[in-house]
Structure 1
Amino acid sequence: MKKWLFPMSVLLATSTALSGCYGGGGEESSTGSEGGDASSIKQEIVVNAMSEPPAIDPAIATDTTSGWVLDHIFEGLYTRDKDGNPVLGAAEDVQVSEDRKTYTFKLREDAKWSDGSAVTASDFEYAWERVLNPETGSPFAFYMYYIKGAEEYNKGKGTVEDVGITAVDETTFEVELNAPLGYFDSLLTLWTFYPVQQKAVEADKNWAAEADTYVSNGPFEMTGWQHDSNVVIEKNDDYYAKDEVKMEKVTFELVNEATTYYQMFKTDELDLVMTLPTDVIESEKENAEYKEVPYYGTYMYMFNVEKEPFTNAKVRRAFAMAVDRQSLTDNVTKAGETPAYAMVPGGAETPAGDFREVGGDYFEENAEEAKKLLAEGMAEEGWDVLPEVTLMYNTAENHKKIAEAVQEMITNNLGVNVKLANQEWGTYLDTTKQGNFQMARMGWIGIFLDPVVNLDYYLGDSPNNRTGWVNEEFDSIMAASKVEQDPDKRYEMLHQAEEILMTDMPFMPINFYKNTYLVSQDYENIAYYVNRYPYLKWAEKTK
């Protein structure tokens, strides 16, 4: 039986969509409505990105805010169609060797940079080598470890000449993998694999910090960046498929306060907002402008296993068992999120069925058992009093309300007083990266629907794993799964890895995401992906 002792006064409001770190397609286009001929309508849209993008640089970005902009202003060898499926982008053709380890891409001859110059195979080679260069410090370099020699070079144990990426000529780019990889096309849609123009990067080390030094190759180009205010992108007339792009201008406003951006939508200052205040969700669900979209990711609190009291696994599990996730999703977030008792969300299909359904839950809420575990953990450490605990979150109304609810649940179910602290997103990322926290909010969105990208977060050498947790068995199983060609064996390995992770619990999952949006009905053909924010390449204003 689950026994709960906390009052419900704290269960107030806000949704849980991630304001930081990762389908359905749009409707078929119509060429007009009561507003008249779409060709006479000013094709502009204003959306809210909430927070300042920490790094609009393909090699450095790890968060979904930066990624939202990057996905519009760059294009990789593969891109996505309206349904989110990988399709060729800057490449017009690909040949795969018989052993499925060598990919030879032929670039489009009309692929151009926003300054009008040609995108070449050398640009891809330079960009990928830049990601792998240890001096770059790319947090997502490990996504390239599938490539021959990439891991060795990135870890300082090999040379760049040994990396299996080669610009054969101006339009031919060859990639050699360590082993066949069935999801390589999906992987290449991630911004880490976008090209960058060598001339622009080498001309100014801060090339990606301002609009006037920015060069890109996507359907849009950056034309303005007023820091902490907005980012402006406009249609790239040098894009090879510019005729598919209807929007002339997209403005990403950076308004973090939920009530403010909600009112801005209501007064037509914003055309698209996400992460609605929860006190309006119920009333807005009947609104034709309201949308709910599944989001393939996990909202969680990381434990720093190198800082007391979370050096003890029983203490970590006690905290996790003291939180009533169903009450959180029903009364705090209210957007239909799924309570999470594991790392990998639902949505990843395997030969045996949905990965989450097959794997099941790894723990349940139980206040009495949580108290016993806490007492045992304290006894093991010789603590008469639990070291003081501070829970950190990045500044946003939604995170604040969830943290307050979790704080009260832990206090009432464990008798532990938890302090709260918050920081702006960019500062927060630096703080957690440096390990200056005990317990901290984080979210992780899979770049494609496969458990490997969720579990990769907790690899011992992953720069994204900020918990200090390293488990050699976990790392070994994850590595083996990436070269295993039998799907049944591969997914069984991933289940084994998740079980190890959930036994040690260097984090506690809270819920699996669902995004809530309000979108003006003046717009059509916006693509809503399950692991990216809305894509506006085909968006069109019809009124």
Structure 2
Amino acid sequence: MKKWLFSLGIVLAISSVLAGCYGGGADGESAGEKKGKGDIKQEIVVNAMTEPPAIDPAKATDTTSGWVLDHIFEGLYTRDKEGKPVLGVAKDVEVSDDGATYTFTLRDDAKWSDGSQVTAGDFEYAWKRVLNPETGSAFSFYLYYIKGAEDYNKGKGAAENVGITALDDTTLEVQLNSPLGYFDSLLTLWTFYPVQQKLVEGNADWAAEANTYVSNGPYKMTGWKHESNVVVEKNNEYYEKDVVKLDKVTFQIVNEATTYYQMFKTGELDLISTLPSDVLTSEKENEAYHEVPYYGTYMYMFNVEKEPFTNAKVRKAFAMSIDRKSLTENVTLGGETPAYAMVPEGADTPEGDFRKVGGDYFEENAEEAKKLLAEGMAEEGWTELPEVTLIYNTAENHKKIAEAVQEMIGKNLGVKLKLSNQEWGTYLETTKQGNFQMARMGWIGIFLDPVVNLDYYLGDSPNNRTGWVNEEYDSIMAQSKVEQDENKRYELLHQAEEVLMTDMPFMPVNFYKFNYLANPDFENIAYYVNRYPNLKWAEKTK
């Protein structure tokens, strides 16, 4: 999805065949050598692949919407080129001695794209809007670290009791339940972006079209042709506008991999990701190919409230019956690694990488999988397995993986798996409603800590669409969030993951890496390990 929504990181190179597309002249001079940099049209066209379901900070849950939001909004903290959290709209922060109260001072030159001032009140309003039960934000639980936030969101408390207070136009006080070492990283998530109160209250559909949109980031939305493209242009009201070199970014919406690959080759697209598997091997030798780790997990969710996945042995049998090494080496081909747990590599702990310390939770074994399937069916009194359909959102790579999994499960379990696909927005709604048995999903951590991966399967998380609720799991996760001893905190997170992998409401497939092809005429594109590329500093040089 969404989604630690979990596929980032390869910028594919352009082959010599494509040199003419990007300015190579007959005499060997590039276009940049023939004219000054100031004459270069500073525009880039990138492929978003799918229509963003919700370009609203309070309602976005997917990485596509988040990609656009990260360019048109900015929070109290933002990210530098390396992806590290740095102050953004806030110019200063003071933390109380007990580590539980943050007092932010906003920049005097923080403006909305309409020229009006961004205030502390806008942040208070935006965050409480996320928590307001009527908003229905799926990411509201990320604010539960704040005093009174969970009670308000669950209808047990009032908004005025939430520890978010605008002391004046430039001062915001935030009271946490307890100290949180990664609070700065958390605040880079789009859920914590401000919104303009007068705009939102005056127009319920303010985020549905470009002509009603106001934001505060490096770019502002100027066009949105639904199912076609989203256009953002440089925001001259942005306090750091001088670092923004691009005048225009177009997020094109082309879903079919072969099509967008050909569009890249002809120069219609400057940046694409998730390449067709049949070109990955050859493109890896090109100069613009990059393979960046992506802190996320590709998986298939089981709906534990629908047969046959009401039985844990059946769930485990499915998970044990596929060959992940074969999938990553022969199907996905993008540098992904087999996954036998929820948390990917990349999160450092005092004992070492969290994943390496925790190890794998199961092994692939077709014979054992058959036995577990038979035992599960016997427990349920089934003489034959109920029909099973696997659904995935429409994309060539998802289709190829699903077809390979279909074949493996058929061969190793003797189960005839049906496949079905849906457009992304429809797919999200289908899984949200629980109208599935087995469904593809990806989850990308918003920062490098196991807690954000494991939060996905909390019993009350709107993102957990499996129907699985485990009180022990929820209790351990809650303990981890108040534990101040780092070693003990990670021990608790390992315990929680063990509970999750014992019940197995999902089957992990691989840990992500992302592949990209990028026009080499562009420099300073920032490739993050848990977000799509940031174009704030990007510049076309020739």
Shorter-chain TM-score: which interval? over 0.9
Match of 2:316 in 1: 317
1:326-352, Cα deviation, whole Å (9 max, x unpaired): 000000000110100000000000000
Matched, 1:513 2:530: no
Match of 1:427 in 2: 426
How many aligned residue pairs are there?
A: 521
Match of 1:188 in 2: 187
TM-superposed deviation, 1:61? 0.2
Residues 206-221 of structure 1: pairs in structure 2 closer than 5 A: 206-221=205-220
Residues in 2 aligned to 1:87 and 1:331: alpha-carbon distance in whole angstroms: 40
Residues in 1 aligned to 2:205 and 2:406: alpha-carbon distance in whole angstroms: 40
TM-superposed deviation, 1:36? 4.1
1:285-306, Cα deviation, whole Å (9 max, x unpaired): 1111212111000000000000
Matched, 1:343 2:351: no
Residues in 1 aligned to 2:478 and 2:95: alpha-carbon distance in whole angstroms: 23
CA contact (8 A) 1:25 1:529 kept: no
Residues 331-370 of structure 1: pairs in structure 2 closer than 5 A: 331-370=330-369
Stretches of structure 2 that go unaligned for 5 or more consecutive residues are 12-30
Match of 2:153 in 1: 154
Match of 2:130 in 1: 131
Q: Which amino acid is 1:157 matched to?
A: K
Q: Which amino acid is 1:517 matched to?
A: Y
CA contact (8 A) 1:275 1:515 kept: yes
Matched, 1:279 2:278: yes
Secondary structure at the counterpart of residue 261 of structure 2:
helix
Residues 405-420 of structure 1: pairs in structure 2 closer than 5 A: 405-420=404-419
Residues in 1 aligned to 2:318 and 2:381: alpha-carbon distance in whole angstroms: 18
CA contact (8 A) 1:120 1:171 kept: yes
Residues 461-540 of structure 1: pairs in structure 2 closer than 5 A: 461-540=460-539
Residues in 2 aligned to 1:220 and 1:364: alpha-carbon distance in whole angstroms: 47
Secondary structure at the counterpart of residue 207 of structure 1:
coil
Residues in 2 aligned to 1:35 and 1:181: alpha-carbon distance in whole angstroms: 54
Residues in 2 aligned to 1:344 and 1:96: alpha-carbon distance in whole angstroms: 30
Residues in 1 aligned to 2:165 and 2:38: alpha-carbon distance in whole angstroms: 44
Secondary structure at the counterpart of residue 207 of structure 2:
helix
CA contact (8 A) 1:57 1:70 kept: yes
Residues in 2 aligned to 1:234 and 1:35: alpha-carbon distance in whole angstroms: 27
Residues 157-306 of structure 1: pairs in structure 2 closer than 5 A: 157-306=156-305
Match of 2:19 in 1: none
CA contact (8 A) 2:308 2:386 kept: yes
Secondary structure at the counterpart of residue 294 of structure 1:
strand
TM-score normalised by the chain length of structure 1: 0.95
TM-superposed deviation, 1:38? 2.0
Secondary structure at the counterpart of residue 489 of structure 1:
helix
Secondary structure at the counterpart of residue 99 of structure 1:
coil
CA contact (8 A) 1:80 1:86 kept: yes
TM-superposed deviation, 1:35? 5.6
- How well do the aligned residues superpose, as a CA RMSD in angstroms? 1.3
Residues in 1 aligned to 2:455 and 2:221: alpha-carbon distance in whole angstroms: 31
1:33-83, Cα deviation, whole Å (9 max, x unpaired): 536432221100000000000000000000000000000000000000000
Q: Which amino acid is 2:540 matched to?
A: K
Q: Which amino acid is 1:263 matched to?
A: Q
Secondary structure at the counterpart of residue 188 of structure 2:
coil
TM-superposed deviation, 1:202? 1.2
1:490-522, Cα deviation, whole Å (9 max, x unpaired): 000000000000000000000000000000010
TM-score normalised by the chain length of structure 2: 0.95
Residues in 1 aligned to 2:236 and 2:130: alpha-carbon distance in whole angstroms: 28
Match of 2:37 in 1: 38
TM-superposed deviation, 1:324? 0.3
Structure 1's consecutive aligned runs of 4 or more residues displaced over 6 angstroms after TM superposition are 23-26
Match of 1:458 in 2: 457
Secondary structure at the counterpart of residue 407 of structure 2:
helix
TM-superposed deviation, 1:199? 1.0
Stretches of structure 1 that go unaligned for 5 or more consecutive residues are 1-17, 27-31
TM-superposed deviation, 1:484? 0.3
Residues in 2 aligned to 1:38 and 1:536: alpha-carbon distance in whole angstroms: 18
Match of 1:71 in 2: 70
CA contact (8 A) 1:25 1:525 kept: no
Residues in 1 aligned to 2:84 and 2:395: alpha-carbon distance in whole angstroms: 32
TM-superposed deviation, 1:24? 9.2
TM-superposed deviation, 1:19? 7.8
Match of 2:81 in 1: 82
1:113-163, Cα deviation, whole Å (9 max, x unpaired): 000000000000000000000000000000000000000000000110110
CA contact (8 A) 2:72 2:221 kept: yes
Residues in 2 aligned to 1:200 and 1:256: alpha-carbon distance in whole angstroms: 32
CA contact (8 A) 1:44 1:250 kept: yes
Residues in 1 aligned to 2:210 and 2:289: alpha-carbon distance in whole angstroms: 33
Secondary structure at the counterpart of residue 502 of structure 2:
helix
Residues in 1 aligned to 2:397 and 2:301: alpha-carbon distance in whole angstroms: 17
CA contact (8 A) 1:35 1:542 kept: no
Match of 1:4 in 2: none
1:351-384, Cα deviation, whole Å (9 max, x unpaired): 0000000000000110000000000000000000
Match of 2:103 in 1: 104
Distance 1:88 1:19, change over 3 A: closer
CA contact (8 A) 1:19 1:50 kept: no
Secondary structure at the counterpart of residue 385 of structure 1:
coil
Q: Which amino acid is 2:356 matched to?
A: E
Secondary structure at the counterpart of residue 142 of structure 1:
helix
CA contact (8 A) 2:392 2:399 kept: yes
Q: Identity of paired residues, percent? A: 80
